[in-house]
Structure 1
Amino acid sequence: MVAAENDALPGAKVGGVGDVIRDLPSALQSKGADVTVVLPSYGFLRRMEHIELIRQFNVQFAGESHMVELFRVHLDPKYGAQYILHHPKFSPEGETVYCNDPDGRPFATDATKFAFFSACVAQALVIGALPAPDVLHCHDWHTAFLVILLRFGFEFRSFKDLHIVFSIHNLALQGIRPFRGDISSFTSWYPDLHYSIDKIQDPRFLDCVNPMRAGILLSNRVHTVSPSYAREVVNPSQYNLGIYGGEGLENDLRERSNYGEVIGILNGCEYPKKMPAVLKKPKDIAQLMHDSVVKWAGASVVLASAHWLAEKRINHWLKTASTGFNVTFVGRLTEQKARLLQVVMPNGKTALQNILDVLGTNGTMLVLGSGDPKIEAYLVKVCADNENFVFLNGYSDQLARTLYSAGDLFFMPSSFEPCGISQLLAMRAGQPCLVNAVGGLRDTVDNLRTGFVFEGKDIHEQAYFMTTTFEEALYLYLNDGSHWQEICKAAGEARFTWDAAAQRYMDDLYSLHSHG
């Protein structure tokens, strides 16, 4: 299993991929699989405790030879055999998992880093430094260069026919780079590689390599992290309508899907017998919010208005928290997560403003997140205009866990959602969710049984039904307590286990005997 993230290692998680790589190996091993996980060091993982240098070897990359170190990480065996590869090239801009490049050179730094990582893994396989796999499972575009090398590289020909599974976690990010003419380009990295251009070329930018497309076309199985998302990606995206599909790769995905080779399996969630204790009393939750805001404010010399406003709104929330309807939102502030909130409705107000008007003095919406500066600015203005809206502009694990369990309704109106983990964590704590009927949200929330689901054929219809569905949820909470409690109970009892997912992986993704 090759990935860019792994939450089993400290600091090596950014998004949902990290959760999967932490939890999946344990479930697979309970089914009899022998799992090896490989990750770049990003510099900081080299300093972990319980690691052992087991091999140094040379890797040819970008016309030069590089000495790379392979470490074995001694973790709980349930996580599988964990390895990290170390070289300064894995931390080109400080010790971060991902780097931000200017708009004119998207993915430039990361693509070079992960192209090098792929060359290192391929070389480690060839020299036997890593155990030879029966199945190679690559996650997202970051690891697709490895698929290209194994399929086309002469020196890696002993792995040419290896059974490869390619997982799509975020189709919107494809890692596209030029074939040539840039230090971060395909022929700069692999000057001697002979390849079939039709398998790796971007369908829109013909002078560019598209690793996501290569992973889709060169693997034996393509995996999406929910069944509904597998059905969505074979159709084109229509951004103006707010419909997200194949992001330019729908023709390739449709062709593979027609052969039964695109398989949607929902990610699992952990259900510990004893859940960790979380704050329940409003005054304790308010204190945690205060402490978080002070910490974020301390990161800057000038006090951001977001934090000043949050303090005022937290104090107001504390007066009504125990009696009001608490709506929670936890997530990165991206177009995916927040586009619907900003849709202007026929009355001239945004969808979020209409929802807050419906909520009125009955409760408060608490939003935890950071991301796109434009979305942050919009939410700061909403916070200034509405006493019933608390915008916590940052991230804290403890605060996120608290909101998953302390709210009455978890709000997740994503425009697309390959799987989603937040709704699973909220439901696990018995908090129903209000979601858009897309991807993994459609597959996990059952309308009026475990939560509330809206859908629409375009962004305006979605915004309208999001608002009316919120009205229905609030009405139910205020007027039909027994039905509300039934929904909370059913949400808490819903199960999406890694055990069930792992069995599907074994049968439908890894089986060497299934078709194709």
Structure 2
Amino acid sequence: MHVLMVAAENDALPNAKVGGVADVIRDVPKALVAQGLTVDVVIPDYGFELGERCFIGEVSVAFKSETHVLSLFEITQNQKGVRQIVISHPLFSQSLSVYCNDNDNRPFATDATKFALFNAAICEALIQGVLTQPNTLHLHDWHSACVAVLLKFNPRYGKLAKLRLVYTVHNLALQGIRPFKGDDSSLEAWFPSLSYDGQRLCDPRYPHCFNPMRSAINLADKVHVVSPSYSQEVQIASNDAHGFFGGEGLERDLQQAAEQGKLIGILNGCDYAIQDKHEATYSQLLEQIESTLFSWMAKSAQLHSSHYIAHQRVLQFMACDKQGPLVTSVGRLTEQKVLLLCQQQSKDLTIDSVCQIINQFKGRLLVLGSGDSKLEHLFTCAMARNNNFLFLKGYGQGVGDLMYQLGDLFLMPSSFEPCGISQMLAMRAGQPCLVHSVGGLKDTVEHNVSGFCFNGDTLSTQADALLQSLTEALSLYQTNPKQWQAIKRRAADARFSWDSVVTDYITYLY
């Protein structure tokens, strides 16, 4: 069996990672190859240095009423049996980044155009034979959805109609919505001669808009979400006021997919073969943090307040020996991840209450991540208010690895979590997790067995439950070390291996 995966990110290649989807695109193909499948992976060429490459061919693509020539290359270094392919065009590499941040009045505009051209190039490469035609075409998130639209509605690709289409939803909150027409970044601007069924492609809330994610859900043979619990949650309408994030407007389409036997929930996996057995120390973590902060500071002529306050806090931590628990958190700063920490608690925010509870146990809180600028500022201000809180605005692999290894309790209060990788990495290192019992977190962390879980029917009750669960967990850490060590062992022994995951891929998706 031959599978072609199409995605925006791929951590098998340098710098082509932003989120957890890149880990999946790195690990799943290797595991499928180990099961005897042939797997090709293709992403855009963002202009990063990728190592040795071999020219495959060129394709001419009709896009925005012009002919564009795109080049395909295979990356040949250390790819472990997986054929890694990139498609080059100036539009993909102009920002030297995977994604662009457009203004709120034109969300996704730049990226949607970029990925629409990338998708058109995939279809042309398949029909022209530049890419080997697979048995299964596996599309990931909205960035690859136009492949399904073109294959189903453009007669030019009729010979590819028998290709099995599998579509994976990694993040339902990002759907890539653009207008059908009337904008330079719209479906009819990209493909002016395309005849399509607007009823299957439109956004349910904005019928004049094209929704790539909904389109792929409706057009694919199989729709895959990345945990069993999340596959149930997405069939229920979101209720923001009550703190529930489900179908995000696509619940009816996902209900229909489930009724047709198309919707499959398969939990993502984790690589257990790459654990670093080196015993690190807390002092080494602080030294690594200081070094990483210096590298971030040097990138700008102006010193960011977040980096300055963080460095002062590191010096403070270095001057005083660690006494209590080290609570850690690693991840993107988005509402999905930290909405509960931003809820009002009398005079302060939940993040302040978290710091106060940790301080009662003489502990410290370390948060590593960046994302929404407003949330970054909020966390910087919270760091200034709480002298046991260190917020690192950015991402450093070395710091993250040490935080997983040395933390006593990992905090992951996501409002929704399709699967989650951070909790698996923390558990792999033997660090129990405190999680909101949703999606993949519910499927990986067992309360008072391998970690700690909380829930609630509203944002307020969820925030209160988080604080209560944190207090109970740290009390257990302090008063019952034998039980704490048992929870640590069970966290470390938990296994969510890619081998079993890809067996389900082959059985239920391919």
TM-score by length of 1: 0.95
Cα distance in 2 for residues equivalent to 1:500 and 1:126 = 34
Would you say how many aligned residue pairs link Structure 1 and Structure 2? 505
TM alignment of 1:429-448, pairs within 5 A: 429-448=429-448
Task: Deviation per CA, 1:385-426: give whole Å up to 9, x if none.
Answer: 212111112211110111011100000001011111100101
* Percent identity between the two aligned chains: 46
* Aligned counterpart, 2:292: 292
**8 Å CA contact retained: 1:278, 1:401:** no
The change in CA–CA distance for 1:181 and 1:307 in structure 2 (over 3 A counts) is same
Residue in 1 that maps onto 2:380:
380
2:52 equivalent to 1:53: no
Q: What is the root-mean-square deviation of aligned Cα atoms in Å?
A: 1.4
The aligned amino acid for 1:393 is K
SS in 1 for 2:87: strand
Residue of structure 2 in register with 1:104 after alignment: 105
Is contact 1:25-1:35 (8 Å) kept?
yes
- Tell me the alpha carbon deviations over residues 337-364 of structure 1, each in whole angstroms, 9 at most, x when there is no partner: 111011123x433222222222225210
Structure 2 equivalent of residue 81 of structure 1: 83
Mapped to 1, the partners of 2:301 and 2:469 lie a distance apart of 42
Query: How far apart, CA to CA, are the structure 1 residues paired with 2:502 and 2:353?
Result: 42
Which amino acid letter does the alignment assign opposite residue 348 of structure 2?
Answer: K
1:152 aligns with 2:156: no
Pair 1:421 & 2:411 matched = no
Amino acid at match of 1:438: V
* 1:43 shift after superposition: 2.6
Q: Any conservation in 2 of the 1:229–1:438 contact (CA below 8 Å)?
A: yes
The Cα of 1:320 is off from its aligned counterpart by: 4.9
Structure-1 residue corresponding to 2:363: 363
Provide the rounded CA distance (Å) in 2 between the counterparts of 1:355 and 1:55: 55
Please say if residues 224 and 418 of structure 1, whose CA atoms lie closer than 8 Å, have aligned partners that are also in contact: yes
Partner of 1:514: none
What letter is aligned with 1:445?
Answer: V
State how far apart, in whole Å, the 2-side matches of 1:359 and 1:169 are: 33
Structure-1 separation of matches of 2:35 and 2:415: 35
Separation in 2 of the partners of 1:457 and 1:353? Answer: 22
Deviation at 1:279, TM superposition (A): 6.4
| Alpha-carbon contact 1:279-1:285 (below 8 Å) kept | no
Instruction: Measure, in 2, the Cα distance between the counterparts of 1:126 and 1:80.
Output: 22
- Conserved? CA contact 2:222–2:262, under 8 Å: yes
Q: 1:311: which partner in 2?
A: 311
Distance in 1 (CA, whole Å) between partners of 2:118 and 2:100 is 15
Per-residue Cα deviation, 1:482-502 (whole angstroms, up to 9, x for no partner) = 000000111011000000100
Q: Distance in 2 between matches of 1:28 and 1:387?
A: 48
| 1:136 equivalenced with 2:137 (yes/no) | yes
User: In 2, are the aligned partners of 1:22 and 1:79 still within 8 Å (CA)?
Assistant: no
Q: Write out per-residue CA displacement over residues 242-298 of structure 1, whole angstroms, 9 at most, x where no aligned residue.
A: 2101111111111111222111111110001x6225562222211111112222222
The code of the aligned residue for 1:358 comes to I
Q: Secondary structure at the match of 1:492?
A: helix
Alpha-carbon separation, structure 1, partners of 2:422 and 2:190: 38
Distance, in Å, in 2 between the alignment partners of 1:309 and 1:56 is: 51
**Residue number in structure 1 paired with 2:13:** 9
- For 1:504, the equivalent position in structure 2 comes to 504
Report the CA distance shift for 1:263/1:364 in structure 2 as closer, same or farther (over 3 A).
same
> CA separation in 2, counterparts of 1:32 and 1:147?
26
Aligned pairs for 1:98-497 within 5 A: 98-272=99-273, 275-276=275-276, 280-345=280-345, 347-361=346-360, 362-497=362-497
**Could you tell me whether the CA contact under 8 Å between 1:151 and 1:161 is conserved in 2?**
no
Distance 2:430 2:288 in 1: 21
Distance in 2 of aligned mates of 1:336 and 1:94: 26
CA distance in 1, matches of 2:358, 2:98: 39
In 2, Cα distance between the equivalents of 1:474 and 1:386? 18
State the SS of the aligned residue for 1:42.
Answer: coil
Are the aligned partners of 1:328 and 1:409 in contact in 2 as well (CA < 8 Å)?
yes
The answer to whether the 8 Å contact 2:58/2:130 transfers is no
CA drift of 1:102 comes to: 1.2
CA contact (8 A) 1:405 1:426 kept: yes
Q: Distance in 2 between matches of 1:117 and 1:329?
A: 35
Q: Please, which moves more after superposition, 210-219 or 259-268?
A: 259-268
Which range moved further: 203-212 or 496-505?
203-212
- Cα distance in 2, alignment partners of residues 224 and 287 from structure 1: 39
State how far apart, in whole Å, the 2-side matches of 1:111 and 1:315 are.
44
| Bigger mean CA offset, 428-437 vs 231-240 | 231-240
Distance 1:380 1:55 in 2: 49
Structure 1 residue matching 2:348: 3-state secondary structure = coil
Cα distance in 1, alignment partners of residues 296 and 51 from structure 2: 29
Please tell me whether the aligned partners of residues 271 and 498 of structure 2 are also in contact (alpha carbons under 8 angstroms).
yes
Deviates more, 1:116-125 or 1:73-82: 73-82
1:75–1:82 contact (8 Å) kept in structure 2: no
Instruction: Choose 96-105 or 480-489, whichever is displaced more.
Output: 96-105
> Alpha-carbon deviation of 1:19?
0.5
Residues 200-235 of structure 1 deviation map (CA, whole Å, 9 limit, x = unaligned):
111111111100000100001100011111111111
